[in-house]
């Protein structure tokens, strides 16, 4: 007679335990397929090639904050001091809060300065973030529940995306929209709370 233990044994050996994941912010998470200087040049082109754009400087400080994590600890300390001073200068001077432990893809553009908080888990490639957009946690007791923004998303002015939600690739979050739920790829979300809409259909009816 086959026992439950025998049946389990037929499935083969147990898989090895997964290695523990590194804590967020404990390593360099800049895009791995491009060097730091080339990445900064690309970020500058993404912001119109203008050094006067606050969004470029916020992204540049973010890249530096990640790059320093690849430097050994004895040499990292002065770099950390520089990063923290630059981060606070961007935050207080331009009103852009982009911590280095938010994973940032390539060609991310912060279109305007002021009241921009990017406390996301990750931001994909070719994302546009506009004025007064807020990305972050929904509750103080769930500080790790942060949104994931996939490639090609555009986040409109004064939009709010919060909690452990995912905004799918090439979606549009319209101005003044609150997004507390997952958004499928290639969608448009509008309203408070956000709902999926077809702007082309709405335009025809108007």
Q: Domain with 200 in it: what CATH number?
A: 2.160.10.10
Cβ(123)–Cβ(108) under 8 Å?
yes
Domain of 87 in residue numbering reads as 31-94
The answer to whether residues 54 and 125 belong to one domain is: no
Task: Round to whole Å and give the CA distance between 86 and 94.
Answer: 11
Q: Which residue in 32, 42, 183, 187 sits closest to 108, CA to CA?
A: 42
Percent with pLDDT over 90 in the chain: 76
Q: Quote the number of domains for the chain.
A: 2
* Whether 89 and 125 share a structural domain: no
**Do you know the residue count of the chain?**
206
Residue 138 falls inside a structural domain: yes
Per-residue pLDDT of 100-117, as tens digits, reads 999 999 999 999 888 999
141 is a domain residue: yes
Of 22-31, 76-85, 89-98, 163-172, the range with the lowest mean pLDDT is: 22-31
Question: Which helix (H) or strand (E) is 91 found in, with range?
Answer: helix 73-94
- Residue 54's contacts (CB-CB under 8 Å, 6 or more residues apart) are 90, 93, 94, 96, 110, 112, 113
Range 143-147 average pLDDT: 90
pTM of the model: 0.83
Residue 135 parent element (H or E)? strand 134-136
Same domain? For 131 and 82 the reply is no
Residue 105 within any structural domain of the chain:
no
Do residues 35 and 90 share a domain? yes
């Amino acid at each position: 007679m086959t026992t439950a233990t025998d049946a389990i044994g037929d499935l083969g050996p147990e898989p090895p335990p997964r290695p523990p994941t590194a804590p967020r912010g404990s390593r360099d998470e800049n895009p791995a397929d491009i060097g730091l200087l080339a990445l900064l040049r690309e970020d500058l082109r993404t912001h119109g090639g203008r050094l006067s754009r606050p969004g470029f400087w916020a992204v540049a400080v973010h890249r530096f904050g990640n790059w320093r994590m690849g430097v050994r600890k004895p040499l990292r300390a002065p770099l950390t001091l520089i990063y923290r001073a630059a981060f606070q200068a961007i935050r207080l001077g331009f009103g852009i809060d982009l911590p280095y432990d938010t994973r940032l893809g390539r060609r991310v553009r912060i279109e305007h300065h002021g009241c921009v908080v990017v406390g996301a888990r990750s931001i994909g490639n070719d994302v546009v973030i506009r004025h007064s957009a807020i990305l972050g946690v929904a509750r103080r007791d769930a500080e790790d529940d942060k949104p994931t923004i996939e490639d090609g998303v555009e986040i409109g002015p004064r939009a709010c995306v919060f909690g452990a939600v995912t905004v799918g690739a090439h979606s549009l979050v319209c101005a003044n929209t609150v997004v507390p739920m997952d958004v499928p790829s290639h969608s448009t979300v509008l309203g408070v709370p956000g709902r999926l809409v077809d702007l082309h259909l709405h335009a025809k009816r108007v």
